[in-house]
Structure formats: C-alpha cells, structure tokens
Amino acid sequence: MGKKKPRPRRSFTPEFRAEVVELCRRGDRPVGQVAKDFDLTETAVRFWVQQAQNDAGERDGLTSAEKEELARLRWENRRLREDVEILKRATAFFAVETG
C-alpha cells in the first residue's frame, strides 16, 4: 500500500475558525464529525478549540496575542545576536588593521 499524499497547506480566516470552534462548543456533533464536514483534520480543529479556550481564559496556556509577541521577540533577539556577531568581527578586523 502506498503512502497518502500530504495535503497542501491551507489558510483559513479567523471568522471561519471561530465558526468551526463554535460548532464544536455547541456539542451537537463530535469534533471529528465537524472536521470531516468541513474537510479539515481533526488535529487542526482540536488545536483551534484549545486556542480559543486559551484566548478566553478557560484554559492555561499562551493566548494568540502572547504567541505572536513571543515569535516577534524571538525574531528580534535572533536579529540582534546576528548584529552583535557582525560588530564583534568588525571590531576584531579594525583592531588588527590599526594595531
């Protein structure tokens, strides 16, 4: 038997995600059925539900805003470390040239 082809990565609007989460919260259908009805993976739908609970303070974990801030700070930290490394090399180069 062959392996399944991976799905292409799709993006969804916040409104669509909120609608799917609301359907899951109502409890009319299980999460797996909601996922199947919208041609989504059950894992993605469960993640959206958990993230909505985090954002609403119903569950411990980082909110969406905190995750965005953390990603931005990590990116900035990486960029600053690269800048420091460049400055160290430049300092060493000019110390040899003038020394």
pLDDT tens by residue, 15-53? 999 999 999 999 899 999 999 999 999 999 999 999 999
16 with 57, same domain? Answer: yes
Q: Is residue 3 part of a domain?
A: no
CA-to-CA distance for 13 and 15, rounded, in angstroms?
A: 5
**CATH number reported for the structural domain that contains residue 56 in this entry:** 1.10.10.10
Predicted confidence band at 97 (pLDDT cuts at 50, 70, 90)? confident
Clarify whether residues 75 and 54 are in a common domain. Answer: no
Which residue did the predictor score with more confidence, 31 or 9?
A: 31
**Is 1 domain-assigned?**
no
Farthest CA pair distance, the chain:
77
Domain count of the chain?
Answer: 2
Which residues span the domain enclosing 55? 12-61
Contact at 8 Å (CB) between 35 and 7?
no
Please tell me what DSSP assigns to residue 27. T
For residue 96, name the pLDDT band (cuts at 50, 70, 90): confident
Chain mean pLDDT for the chain: 93
What is the number of alpha carbons within 13 Å of residue 56 lying toward its C-beta? 11
